[in-house]
C-alpha cells in the first residue's frame, strides 16, 4: 500500500493514475518513506486553488521523548516525517513561486485563443529587498562588555577578532546571503557547524555550512518546559529514492538507513534477535544543526500576500489580453459583399488592401468595423499600480520614488516607508541575534574539540556569554548623523567600543575598535588632562537641521531660520 499526501492529509491508495485524474490535482514533488522503499513512496499533491489556506507557517516538529537514544531515534524520525513532509512541500512551493512559477488562477472563456499570462513576480522583488536589507552585511561578533568579572579584556578582544576571522575564512558573508534567501522565502533556514578535520594553516577551525530547509529539520521535546531541541536531522536521497539520515543528539551521532542505526558499536537488539548499533559519540556535546526563523509564526516575507500577488498577475494578464484582443479584433461587416475565388471561398481584405462600399438604393449605408471591447484603461492601470503598491506596503518594502515633494533625510524615511521597514527589521534582528548566539555556542565547541587548535589560543578560553552579535543595516543618508553621534559620545567619555557598536556603521565593529583603540583612548585622555578642554562641535549637519524643509519631522510646524545678528541682540 502506498501513501499520498493531499493537502497535508495522508491517504492510502494503490493507483496513482486514479488520483491524477482528479480535477485540480497535480503532482508537486515526489518523496519516499524513511524506510527507503520505493513501494512506500509518498507523493505530495498541490490543490492550487486552495494553496493560500495552506500558507500558515512551517510546522514545529515535536516529540514526547525526553532524551534521544539508539532505541528511539528511528521512531522519532519516522514520527516527525509527516510534519516535515508538509513543511518541505510548502518550502518547495514557495521557492518555486519566488523563481516565477506562478500559474494564473483563472480560466479565460472569451477569446480563449488570446490568453496572455503575465507574471510580475513582485514576490522576488520583496525577497531581493529583504535579503539585502537583513542579510546583505555579514553578521559579525563583538565583545559584550569590557569590564567582566575576572575577564582578561585584551585576551577576550583578541579571541573575538580571531573568531570573526574564522567565519570570514569560511566565506560567511556569501553564505549569510544564501541563508537569508531561505529564511525570507520559506520562513526557516538551517546552518551546520562541524570540526574542520582537514585544517591547513590559515583555515578556519570549524566548517560552516548552510543547509537547504527541504533536507533538514530539528525535533523539539514537549517533555522539557523550555521545549528544547533534542534532535537535529539532515538527509540525502539517492537516484533510487533511498534516504540516508544523519541525526545528531546532544551526545550521539546516528547514521540511519532502512529503520536501523548503521554506525557505532554493535549491540544485541530486541527486535527478532537482530544485532543493532548504538551510534557514535558526538564530540561537540551539543547539537550542531541550528534552525533560523524569520518570525515566530514561521512564515515567509510575502507568504500572507500570495492571494494579492495572484490577483495582481491576473489583472496584468487581463490588461495584456484586452490590448491584444482589440489589436486582433473580430471584424463586423454589414451590407458588404466580398469577392470569391475559384473554389467559391470568400476573399477577405488583407493588410494594405482597399475596400469600396456604396450606399444602396434603399438608403442603407454599408460598414465594416472591428468588434472592440471597451475598457477604462486609465482605471485599470490605476488599479494595478495601487494593488502593487499595497502589496509592497504590507510587506514593509519602501517605495522607490519620493512623492512628498523634495523631502530629505528623516522626512523621506517616513514618507517612503523606510521607518516602518526599520521597525520590522528591528523585530527580526532580535530573533536573528538569538539564532546567531546558538551558532557561536556550536562554533566554540568545534574549536575546543579540534586537535589543530593551538593550546595557547585565546579562543579556548572565550566564553559564550562574552560575545555579542552585530547585525548591520546601512543607509547612506544616515552616515553624517552617525559620525556626529560617534563624535559626541567619544568626546563625552563613552567607551569607544560601545560608541562604535551604537552607530552601527562599520561591517566589523570589533576589528575597527582593535585598529582604532589606541588613538581613541589617547584622544579621550587628552580631553581630561587638558586644563582648558574644549568639546568639539558636530562634524556636519544632520537630520536635526531639516525641520524647515521637512514638515514631516514635526507635523505641519514650520520654523524660520534664526538670523545670527538677531541672536546677538
Residue with the larger pLDDT of the pair 397 and 413:
397
All structural domains of the chain with their residue ranges = 1-53, 477-552
Tens of pLDDT, residue by residue over 535-551, are 555 555 555 555 555 55
Provide the pLDDT for residue 78.
Answer: 92
Residue with the larger pLDDT of the pair 12 and 65:
65
d(CA 127, CA 102): 15
On whether the CB atoms of residues 33 and 80 are closer than 8 A, the answer is no
Beta-bridge mates of residue 345: none
DSSP state letters, 212-230 = -GGGEEEEEETTSTT--EE
- Model confidence band, residue 273 (pLDDT cutoffs 50, 70, 90): very low
d(CA 253, CA 287): 9
% of residues, the chain, pLDDT over 90: 41
On whether the CB atoms of residues 2 and 19 are closer than 8 A, the answer is no
Provide the pLDDT for residue 77.
Answer: 94
Q: What is the three-class DSSP state of 430?
A: helix
How many CA atoms lie within 13 Å of 178's alpha carbon, on the beta-carbon side?
13
For 31, residues 6+ apart whose C-beta sits below 8 A from its C-beta are 41, 42, 43, 44, 85, 88
Region 95-115 average pLDDT: 85
How many CA atoms lie within 13 Å of 448's alpha carbon, on the beta-carbon side?
15
Tens of pLDDT, residue by residue over 281-319, are 999 999 999 999 999 999 999 999 999 999 999 999 988
Provide the pLDDT for residue 556.
Answer: 47
Question: What 8-state DSSP symbol labels residue 561?
Answer: P
Provide the pLDDT for residue 113.
Answer: 78
Distance of CA 553 to the CA centre of its chain: 32
Task: Count CB atoms within 10 A of the CB of residue 5.
Answer: 20
d(CA 248, CA 233): 6
Provide the pLDDT for residue 67.
Answer: 94
Provide the pLDDT for residue 412.
Answer: 57
Q: What is the mean pLDDT of the chain?
A: 79
Strands 229-237 and 243-248: antiparallel
Comparing CA positions, the residue from 478, 480, 524 lying closest to residue 498 is: 524
On whether the CB atoms of residues 57 and 298 are closer than 8 A, the answer is yes
**Could you write out the three-class secondary structure of 16-70?**
HHHHHCCCCEEEEEEEECCCCCHHHEEEEEEEHHHHHHHCCCCCCCEECCCCCCC
State pTM to two decimals: 0.75
Q: What CA dihedral angle connects 168, 174, 176 and 182, to 10 degrees?
A: -160
d(CA 216, CA 295): 19
Task: Count CB atoms within 10 A of the CB of residue 369.
Answer: 10
Residue recorded with cell 562588555 = 145
- pLDDT at 414 > cutoff 80: no
- How many degrees, rounded to 5, is the angle at CA 480 between CA 477 and CA 484? 145
- Model confidence band, residue 268 (pLDDT cutoffs 50, 70, 90): low
Beta-bridge mates of residue 196: none
CA distances (Å), 340 to each of 96, 345, 359, in order?
A: 53, 5, 21
Amino acid at each position: 500500500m502506498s501513501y499520498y499526501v493531499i493537502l497535508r492529509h495522508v491517504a492510502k491508495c494503490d493507483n496513482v493514475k486514479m488520483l491524477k485524474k482528479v480535477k485540480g490535482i497535480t503532482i508537486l514533488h515526489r518523496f519516499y518513506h524513511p524506510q527507503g522503499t520505493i513501494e512506500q513512496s509518498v507523493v505530495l499533491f498541490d490543490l492550487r486553488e486552495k494553496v493560500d489556506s495552506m500558507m500558515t507557517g512551517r510546522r514545529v516538529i515535536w516529540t514526547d521523548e525526553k532524551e534521544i537514544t539508539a532505541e528511539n531515534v528511528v521512531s522519532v524520525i519516522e514520527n516527525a516525517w509527516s510534519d516535515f513532509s508538509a513543511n518541505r512541500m510548502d518550502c518547495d512551493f514557495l521557492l518555486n513561486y519566488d523563481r516565477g512559477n506562478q500559474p494564473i488562477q483563472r480560466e479565460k472563456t472569451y477569446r480563449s485563443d488570446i490568453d496572455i499570462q503575465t507574471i510580475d513576480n513582485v514576490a522576488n522583488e520583496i525577497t531581493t529587498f529583504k535579503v539585502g536589507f537583513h542579510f546583505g552585511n555579514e553578521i559579525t561578533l563583538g565583545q559584550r562588555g569590557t569590564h567582566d568579572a575576572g575577564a582578561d579584556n585584551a585576551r577576550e578582544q583578541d579571541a573575538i577578532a580571531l573568531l570573526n576571522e574564522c567565519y570570514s575564512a569560511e566565506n560567511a558573508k556569501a553564505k549569510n546571503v544564501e541563508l537569508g534567501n531561505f529564511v525570507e522565502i520559506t520562513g526557516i533556514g538551517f546552518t551546520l557547524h562541524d570540526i574542520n578535520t582537514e585544517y591547513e594553516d590559515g583555515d578556519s577551525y570549524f566548517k560552516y555550512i548552510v543547509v537547504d530547509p527541504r533536507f533538514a529539520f530539528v525535533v523539539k521535546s514537549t517533555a522539557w518546559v523550555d521545549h528544547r531541541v533534542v534532535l537535529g536531522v539532515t538527509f540525502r536521497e539517492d537516484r533510487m529514492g533511498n534516504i540516508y539520515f544523519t541525526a545528531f543528539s546532544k551526545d550521539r551521532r546516528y547514521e540511519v538507513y532502512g529503520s536501523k542505526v548503521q554506525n557505532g558499536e554493535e549491540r544485541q537488539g530486541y527486535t527478532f534477535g537482530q544485532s543493532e548499533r548504538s551510534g557514535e559519540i558526538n564530540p561537540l556535546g551539543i547539537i550542531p544543526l541550528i534552525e533560523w526563523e524569520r518570525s515566530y509564526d514561521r512564515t515567509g516575507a510575502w507568504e500572507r500576500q500570495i492571494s494579492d500577488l495572484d490577483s495582481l498577475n491576473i489583472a496584468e494578464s487581463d490588461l495584456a489580453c484586452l490590448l491584444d484582443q482589440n489589436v486582433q479584433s473580430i471584424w463586423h461587416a454589414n451590407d458588404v459583399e466580398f469577392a470569391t475565388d475559384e473554389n467559391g471561398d470568400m476573399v477577405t481584405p488583407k493588410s494594405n488592401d482597399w475596400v469600396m462600399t456604396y450606399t444602396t438604393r434603399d438608403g442603407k449605408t454599408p460598414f465594416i468595423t472591428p468588434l472592440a471591447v471597451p475598457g477604462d484603461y486609465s482605471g485599470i492601470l490605476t488599479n494595478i499600480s495601487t494593488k502593487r503598491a499595497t502589496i509592497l506596503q504590507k510587506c514593509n518594502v519602501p517605495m522607490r520614488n519620493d512623492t512628498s515633494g523634495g523631502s530629505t533625510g528623516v522626512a523621506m524615511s517616513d514618507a517612503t516607508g523606510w521607518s516602518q521597514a526599520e521597525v520590522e527589521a528591528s523585530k527580526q534582528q532580535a530573533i536573528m541575534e538569538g539564532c546567531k548566539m546558538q551558532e557561536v555556542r556550536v562554533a566554540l565547541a568545534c574549536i575546543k574539540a579540534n586537535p589543530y587548535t593551538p593550546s595557547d589560543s585565546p579562543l579556548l578560553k572565550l566564553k559564550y556569554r562574552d560575545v555579542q552579535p552585530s547585525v548591520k543595516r546601512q543607509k547612506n543618508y544616515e552616515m553624517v548623523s552617525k559620525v556626529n553621534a560617534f563624535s559626541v559620545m567619544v568626546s563625552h567619555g563613552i567607551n569607544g567600543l560601545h560608541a562604535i557598536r551604537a552607530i552601527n556603521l562599520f561591517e566589523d565593529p570589533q576589528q575597527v575598535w582593535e585598529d582604532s583603540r589606541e588613538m581613541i583612548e589617547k584622544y579621550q585622555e587628552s580631553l581630561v588632562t587638558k586644563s582648558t578642554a574644549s568639546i568639539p562641535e558636530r562634524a556636519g549637519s544632520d537630520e536635526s537641521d531639516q525641520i524647515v524643509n521637512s514638515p514631516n519631522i514635526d507635523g505641519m510646524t514650520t520654523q524660520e531660520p534664526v538670523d545670527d545678528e538677531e541672536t546677538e541682540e
